[in-house]
Amino acid sequence: MSEKKQQVSRRQFLNYTLTGVGGFMAASMLAPMVRFAIDPVLTASTAGEMQAVVDVSEITTDPQRFDWTVEQVDAWYTSDVTHSAWVYKNENDEIVPLSPTCTHLGCSVSWAGNEDYPDQFYCPCHDGRYQKDGTNVADTPPPAPLALYEYEVRDGTLYLGQPVPRGGV
């Protein structure tokens, strides 16, 4: 009689509760581990965000160097990393934000860095040179033009994203 009334037997009840509690415990242990394992994936998107660099009114037709600092998270270690860009306005009034990283071996180039070439970017390491638009000068070591940053202008401020490499000549 009484067995008929019991729709859930003691054994079933225990099975359900233990599976439920056990599953909850397993989930609470696994969730942080999964998060931990894919953490770099989750944070990677923030590194690609556009960074405010400079007020557009400061940009002239001569390339100027602007620096900005981003907090970079390398899994366990957070550090401030400084980035730079050489920015100017070309004759069509378009903003040209060039990466300073020499495409030869990664030194920083500077505008008019060599007195002999006042209208070029110059790399002090191995005498690499680039035209004002970033094109590498033939017969100097760099194999490709300087990279151009992704950029956008919001409320009069220049925002820069990632440098985009350009193909070699």
Q: For binding to another protein (CB under 8 A), which residues are involved?
A: 67, 82, 102, 104-108, 123-126
Q: How far is the CB of 72 from another protein (least distance, A)?
A: 13
Separation CA 69–CA 36 (nearest Å): 26
For another protein, give the closer residue by CB, 70 or 95: 70
Helix then strand then coil, in percent of the chain rounded to 5, is 25, 35, 40
Q: How far apart are the first and last CA of the chain?
A: 91
Nearer to another protein, 54 or 123 (CB): 123
Of residues 123 and 148, the one with the C-beta less far from another protein? 123
Smallest distance, another protein to C-beta of residue 147, A:
15
> Residue 123 CB, nearest distance to another protein (Å)?
8
- Cβ 20 to another protein shortest distance, Å: 46
E strand segments, the chain: 51-55, 64-74, 77-89, 95-98, 110-111, 121-123, 128-130, 148-154, 157-164
Nearest CB to another protein, comparing residues 113 and 161: 113
Q: Which residues lie below 8 Å from residue 134, measured CB to CB, with a gap of 6+?
A: 96, 98, 121, 145, 146, 147, 148, 166
Closest to another protein by CB, 51 vs 95, is 51
Half-sphere exposure of 160 (CA within 13 A, CB side): 25
In whole angstroms, the minimum distance from the beta carbon of 89 to another protein comes to 24
